[in-house]
Structure 1
Amino acid sequence: MNRDLLIITSYFPPEIGAASNRIFHLANGLEKSGFNVSVLTPLPNYPTGQIFDDYKGRFKDTSKVGEITVHRLWIYASNSKNKLIRLVAMLSYSFSLIWFFMWHKIPKTVIVQSPPLLVAFTSMCFLRRKTRKLILNVSDLWPIAGLELGALKKGFSYKLLETIERFNYKKAQLILGQSEEILAHVKSICPNKATFLYRNYPDFSPPKIEAVKPSAPLKIVYAGLLGIAQGIFKLCTALDYSNIEFHIYGSGSEQEQIERFITEHPKLPIFFHGRVTRHELHKVLTGYDVAIIPLLNRIYGSVPSKIFEYARLGMPMLYFGGGEGEYIIETNRLGWIAKAGDYTDLNSVISKIALVDISEVKKAQIQQTALENFDFERQLKAFKTLI
């Protein structure tokens, strides 16, 4: 008999991005493994901060994505930089969750995505039962990450978020972390807590490596969120364009700045392609030489899921973010490392990338490493033994 399982998340397709993809793969993998999976998520609004056209005017929506039942709840959607408005948006989804909990039977196994901390807190607080297993999936360490990004400052609100974070960890029966740093942080707070390293491995058929002869200029591509953490605008201003092209895919808060910079510097070889679907992105990425993965500042606990996705595509990577991601790139020989925050070193590393390093052979080696070491099915099988 199949077991019922609920996943509570703030991001889910048709929204794009790493968080949405990660939860979809988890839900889909568990459903294929014999669980009756349902998902609780807001009406889609990320990253635009506006409810998508197909869902406007609705208070809730229930539909099927394959065999997964998806309940989409009302949210006051916003991507405002105003902290009060962002708080209202998170609280609105929390109130919708409470309403749903009151009127629906909740399965005995629940996976809760964190951050946002308030959404996780609402779930942990209202779903506590001796007979229910609460699993917390921690993809970033808040409020630490907020402090390192400059979005938060130490004070009363920071202390409050730390208290909420600790509550969430203590009430979970099992904690999933996307990095060793996350699990080490959890253990420092809850030494006896059951934890599991759950990397953001992708689940798609690896493409055949095509023989594409590289030629100057070197074609570097970035694809993803154009937010503060990624620092793509700063990257545009700091790159040495003497022998490169820089191609950008995505959307986010820095998009207007980036487009304005490109308009004001028409002679620079920067090309903004906008937002495309993940399927389309996989097709176009392999036409470039190197994928860059930047972080404006090193964020403790963060391991960009792009590492595993690009490796499966056979894409050589240039990592510019420090931390555990740097270690993964180096030990698995997936590409190059530039010192986090050091744009002089970044340009120096780029200047030394040889054509032989982005050959068909090199790409095939990267893809083989991904198939051997970043296996979604093997990881999921190990996780299922714990639930």
Structure 2
Amino acid sequence: MEEILIVSNYYPPEKGAAANRIEQLALKLKQNNYTVSVVCPLGNYPKGILFPEYKGKFSVTENREHISVKRLWIYPSVSPNLLVRIVSVLSFTLSLFFYLLFKKTPEKVIVQSPPLLLSFIAVLVLSWKKKKIILNVSDLWPLAAIELNALKENSFSHKSSLFFERFIYKKSSLILGQSNEIISHIHTLFPEKECHLYRNFPDHKISKIELETQEKQPIKIFYAGLLGIAQGVLELCQKIDLNHLNIELHIFGDGAEKKAIETLISNQKQQKIFFHGMMGRKELHETLKTQDIAIVPLKTRIYGSVPSKIFEYSSLGFPTLYLGGGEGATIVEENKIGWVITVGDYGELNKKLISISDLSRLELDKMKKEIFTKTQEIFNLDNQMIGLMKNKVF
């Protein structure tokens, strides 16, 4: 069987969309007769603390579902101190540099980007070794960092990031873009670069809908994912108006806003917002069976980004309430899988919630079944992989 290596900053047992996405890619390649290996940091995401099984270790080699996973040393941190964060990023970058430089690697390597410095180092070494580099771009950096105010335009960091970005696009053999906007951006820099669309489709391995529409219960809207600044879940909790509505909001996840969200919920007068903490993917999906609608909020509309939650939860049958714009909004509207609200327009959101509150259980159940049936075809990971292999991407 042909070998392929995946370089990623995230991999299970770490939780979140990034780790799930890379694992699904690895498993699909394995199912299609590739010998797959992964190199990543020792598990620490999202809290920036090494998981107990990795503490005191410099590197670990594991076998996860017949995929060899090599975990390299990292000094993990989510500290607000910029110097500490730089040390953390550099620690795994150096580990990866020496690993790729001195270890025998397959002829084909998939490199995940961002993080930008990590992908730069990987592409640099792999280009020296004349490997086929398949760059998997899930977000546009540094453009997204500027839009999130994480970088100051024309600063040294910004200019360095622009150099890294152009370098990895130029040196990659071909590029997988998670959205059409990403591909369009890359083609403005390198018009002749071979690019392919690779959506973050899930692989739930279910053939029939498993959701339970419960009679005589409020409509349950849920958010599941990272509780970070970019998602704006705290602001959502502050500005959503559920008074006099037959609706509850349930939150699952962890991140920087967790404590503030818990404090807000503990002080609420009407108990209509509930926090459930972080769960593993399987446990979460089991718990979500009694929920009704997935809400996907964004603090800022980021060019190139299409939240994987749109695909993840619509493929289970959930209607999507999307607070965003751009390509994600187009996907929701064109496929009729939910509702789109302008970013930050909570007045529009609260008006929409009034009409959602009036939905009958019969209407909601019908909507779920139609969305499930539709998305089994249009958000199909197997079909996507078959198309990519026909085009000799891997």
Give yes or no for TM over 0.5: yes
Q: How many Å separate the matches in 2 of 1:44 and 1:358?
A: 43
Which residue matches 2:386? Answer: 381
| Number of aligned positions between the proteins | 386
Amino acid at match of 1:65: R
Which residue matches 2:351? Answer: 348
Which residue matches 1:327? Answer: 330
> Is contact 2:212–2:290 with CA below 8 Å preserved after alignment?
no
RMSD, aligned CA: 1.5
Quote how far apart the aligned CAs of 1:363 are: 0.7
- Specify whether residues 222 and 379 from structure 1 end up closer, same or farther in structure 2 by C-alpha distance, changes over 3 A only: same
Q: How many Å separate the matches in 2 of 1:226 and 1:361?
A: 31
- Specify whether residues 241 and 46 from structure 1 end up closer, same or farther in structure 2 by C-alpha distance, changes over 3 A only: same
Amino acid at match of 1:150: N
Which residue matches 2:302? Answer: 299
Q: How many Å separate the matches in 2 of 1:374 and 1:254?
A: 31
Quote how far apart the aligned CAs of 1:210 are: 4.5
Which residue matches 2:225? Answer: 224
Q: Helix, strand or coil for the counterpart of 1:355?
A: coil
Is 1:262 aligned to 2:255, yes or no? no
1:372 to 353, 356, 377: 377
Which residue matches 1:8? Answer: 7
> Is contact 1:233–1:258 with CA below 8 Å preserved after alignment?
yes
Amino acid at match of 1:366: I
Which residue matches 1:273? Answer: 276
Quote how far apart the aligned CAs of 1:22 are: 0.4
Is 1:101 aligned to 2:105, yes or no? no
Amino acid at match of 2:257: E
Q: How many Å separate the matches in 1 of 2:326 and 2:293?
A: 20
Q: Helix, strand or coil for the counterpart of 1:101?
A: helix
Q: How many Å separate the matches in 2 of 1:53 and 1:358?
A: 47
Q: Helix, strand or coil for the counterpart of 2:367?
A: helix
Amino acid at match of 1:105: K
Output one character per residue of 1:141-168: Cα deviation in whole Å (capped at 9) or x when no partner: 1111111112111122111111110111
Q: How many Å separate the matches in 2 of 1:241 and 1:210?
A: 23
Which residue matches 1:156? Answer: 156
Output one character per residue of 1:65-92: Cα deviation in whole Å (capped at 9) or x when no partner: 1111000000110112333322221111
Is 1:169 aligned to 2:173, yes or no? no
Instruction: Identify which range, 280-289 or 310-319, moves more after superposition.
Output: 280-289
Quote how far apart the aligned CAs of 1:129 are: 4.4
Q: Helix, strand or coil for the counterpart of 1:100?
A: helix
TM-score normalised per structure 2:
0.95
> Is contact 1:209–1:364 with CA below 8 Å preserved after alignment?
no
Mapping for residues 301-316 of structure 1, pairs under 5 Å: 301-316=304-319
TM-score normalised per structure 1:
0.96
Q: Helix, strand or coil for the counterpart of 2:170?
A: helix
Q: Which runs of 5+ in 2 are unaligned?
A: none
Q: How many Å separate the matches in 2 of 1:343 and 1:214?
A: 28
Output one character per residue of 1:274-318: Cα deviation in whole Å (capped at 9) or x when no partner: 011101111122311211000011011110111111111100110
Mapping for residues 29-108 of structure 1, pairs under 5 Å: 29-108=28-107
Instruction: Identify which range, 147-156 or 167-176, moves more after superposition.
Output: 147-156
Q: How many Å separate the matches in 2 of 1:215 and 1:186?
A: 51
Q: How many Å separate the matches in 2 of 1:35 and 1:263?
A: 50
